[in-house]
């Protein structure tokens, strides 16, 4: 009896010792909102991970890590750009880490992989880096701060037709956003009276463009329209030069992914004159952008922000905004509802989240690669304001 009570006493004491930290931890957990970020930090699309994560972090640095009384904790995971990994990591983040928000996703297949989990677990998911129109339709819990390929391809097709380009060959990466690009550009260009003489699709990662560009050269179009995902543009540009397309008088036009600010400066003069349509240029002339670029470069050893970085920066803004609006509630439905209709001035210009589609509405800029102070930039020369995704707006077949 005596021995039992001694043991009991010891047990009670041990419990008393652990009870305080457990309660303390529980209180802290309730005051912390974990944001699970999944990006390709390694592999062929590591530049996307590097840029987006730097954008997310800069926003937190500038705005503090407390929102509506909650401490924001970002947990960054590397999926290497492999959809099965994205899915596994998202599951772990939801189940083991208890994240209340997911963000990132460097390519369309990675966003597709996580969509069913977002729906099942009711986790608001901010897509910073996948541009296929249908991404936001894969889950009612997805919102996007990036762009849709058609948002950029449609204004470019209209511009091309008005500026003496009559015959085009399209060259796109052979996966969902490339197919969107090919469709959107061709439909609008042909409806305007132009001719797309060939539609070429190339492998997504590490493609050898040389044989495809030879086909383009032989076809003698006025221009080649290109979509390749961020990071691949430099290889394209090199082979465009090597094959002598420029000398053959063939213009280069594309969505701004090909003249990605992350690598543009290393492309050399072959990039000069390339006309693209996109949502962000590091050379965008606004007070907000000048401050953003300066702060980003300072925080990242001089790295120039690209359109991925600004998407991460805005993605974290959207998360902070939603948490403010819910007064710190992390209920998934409340958070995604709070994101609908959000609008603010981004370094790229005015943006909003379409309350109907949860997709971004933003300006699209026409830009030309020019040299400024010895450096290559996408210099904006025209603005198409407040562009909605043309696919969801029913503008394309």
Query: Where do runs of H (alpha helix) occur along the chain?
Result: 2-30, 46-63, 83-95, 108-121, 149-162, 176-191, 210-219, 233-242, 287-299, 307-325, 332-339
> Minimum distance from CB of 337 to ligand PHB (Å)?
25
> Minimum distance from CB of 107 to ligand PHB (Å)?
4
Binding residues for ligand PHB restricted to 58-117, rule: CB under 6 A? 107-108
Contact by Cβ (8 Å): 277, 155: yes
Decide: residue 106, CB within 10 A, 0-12 exposed, 13-18 middle, 19+ buried.
Answer: buried
Decide: residue 193, CB within 10 A, 0-12 exposed, 13-18 middle, 19+ buried.
Answer: exposed
Binding residues for ligand PHB restricted to 294-313, rule: CB under 6 A? none
Q: Which is nearer to ligand PHB, 130 or 316 (CB)?
A: 130
> Minimum distance from CB of 49 to ligand PHB (Å)?
12
Q: Count the residues of the shown chain that bind ligand PHB, applying the rule CB under 6 A.
A: 10
39 binds ligand PHB (CB under 6 A): no
Q: Which is nearer to ligand PHB, 257 or 389 (CB)?
A: 257
Q: Which residues contact 115 (CB under 8 A, 6 or more apart)?
A: 125, 135, 138, 139, 142
Which of 322, 324, 385 lies closest to 351 in space, CA to CA?
A: 385
- Show the site string, 344-373: x = touches ligand PHB by CB under 6 A, - = not: ------------------------------
125 binds ligand PHB (CB under 6 A): no
Give how far Cα 155 sits from Cα of 97, 114, 254, 285, 394, Å: 43, 30, 11, 20, 15
Contact by Cβ (8 Å): 49, 78: yes
What does DSSP say about strands 142-144 and 125-127: parallel, antiparallel, or unpaired? parallel
- Show the site string, 168-207: x = touches ligand PHB by CB under 6 A, - = not: ---------x------------------------------
Task: Identify the residue among 145, 230, 311, 346 touching ligand PHB (CB under 6 A).
Answer: 230
Q: Which residues contact 327 (CB under 8 A, 6 or more apart)?
A: 68
Backbone dihedral region of 245: left (phi > 0), alpha (psi from -120 to 50 degrees) or beta? alpha
> Minimum distance from CB of 130 to ligand PHB (Å)?
4
End-to-end CA distance of the chain: 83
Region of 96-104, 126-134, 156-164, 291-299 interacting with ligand PHB (CB under 6 A): 126-134
Region of 89-97, 124-132, 211-219, 380-388 interacting with ligand PHB (CB under 6 A): 124-132
> Minimum distance from CB of 152 to ligand PHB (Å)?
9
Instruction: Say how many C-beta atoms besides its own lie within 10 A of residue 61's C-beta.
Output: 11
Residue 59 tokens read as 């926003």
229 binds ligand PHB (CB under 6 A): yes
> Minimum distance from CB of 349 to ligand PHB (Å)?
19
Rounded CA separation 72/79 (Å) = 22
Q: Which is nearer to ligand PHB, 41 or 323 (CB)?
A: 41
- Show the site string, 128-167: x = touches ligand PHB by CB under 6 A, - = not: -xxxx-----------------------------------
> Minimum distance from CB of 232 to ligand PHB (Å)?
8
Which of 188, 251, 185, 275 lies closest to 200 in space, CA to CA?
A: 185
> Minimum distance from CB of 373 to ligand PHB (Å)?
26
- Show the site string, 233-272: x = touches ligand PHB by CB under 6 A, - = not: ------------------------x---------------
> Minimum distance from CB of 184 to ligand PHB (Å)?
13
Scan for tokens 């000048």, then name that residue: 290
Q: Which is nearer to ligand PHB, 105 or 189 (CB)?
A: 105
> Minimum distance from CB of 26 to ligand PHB (Å)?
40
Residue 345 tokens read as 């001035």
The CA angle 116-152-176, to the nearest 5 degrees, is 35
Q: Which is nearer to ligand PHB, 131 or 353 (CB)?
A: 131
Residues that bind ligand PHB (CB under 6 A): 107-108, 129-132, 177, 229-230, 257
């Amino acid at each position: 009896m005596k021995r039992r009570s001694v043991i009991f006493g010891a047990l009670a004491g041990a419990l008393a010792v652990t009870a305080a930290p457990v309660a303390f931890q529980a209180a802290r957990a309730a005051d912390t909102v974990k944001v699970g970020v999944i990006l390709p930090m390694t592999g062929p699309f590591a530049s996307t991970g590097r840029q987006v994560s730097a954008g997310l972090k800069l926003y937190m640095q500038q705005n503090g890590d407390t929102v509506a009384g909650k401490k924001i904790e970002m947990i960054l995971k590397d999926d290497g750009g492999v959809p099965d990994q994205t899915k596994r990591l998202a599951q772990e983040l939801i189940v083991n880490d208890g994240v209340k928000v997911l963000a990132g996703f460097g390519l369309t297949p990675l966003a597709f992989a996580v969509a069913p989990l977002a729906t099942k677990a009711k986790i608001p998911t901010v897509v910073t880096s996948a541009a296929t129109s249908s991404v936001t339709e894969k889950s009612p819990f997805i919102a996007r701060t990036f762009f849709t390929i058609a948002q950029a391809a449609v204004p470019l097709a209209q511009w091309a037709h008005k500026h003496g380009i009559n015959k085009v060959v399209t060259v796109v990466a052979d996966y969902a956003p490339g197919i969107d690009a090919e469709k959107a550009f061709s439909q609008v260009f042909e409806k305007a009276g132009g001719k797309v003489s060939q539609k070429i699709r190339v492998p997504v990662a590490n493609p050898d463009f040389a044989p495809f560009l030879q086909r383009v050269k032989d076809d003698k179009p006025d221009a080649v329209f290109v979509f390749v995902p961020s990071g691949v543009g430099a290889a394209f540009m090199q082979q465009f030069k090597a094959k002598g397309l420029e000398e053959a008088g063939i213009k280069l036009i594309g969505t701004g992914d090909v003249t990605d600010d992350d690598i543009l400066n290393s492309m050399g003069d072959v990039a000069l004159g390339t006309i693209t349509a996109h949502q962000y240029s590091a050379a965008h002339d606004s007070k907000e952008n000048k401050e953003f670029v300066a702060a980003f470069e300072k925080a990242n050893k001089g790295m120039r922000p690209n359109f991925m970085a600004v998407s991460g920066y805005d993605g974290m803004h959207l998360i902070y905004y939603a948490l403010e609006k819910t007064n710190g509630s992390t209920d998934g439905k409340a958070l995604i509802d709070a994101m609908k209709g959000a609008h603010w001035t981004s370094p790229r210009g005015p943006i909003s989240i379409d309350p109907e589609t949860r997709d971004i509405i933003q300006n699209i800029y026409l830009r030309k690669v020019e040299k400024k102070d010895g450096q290559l930039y996408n210099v904006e020369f025209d603005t198409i304001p407040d562009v909605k995704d043309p696919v969801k707006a029913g503008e394309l077949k």
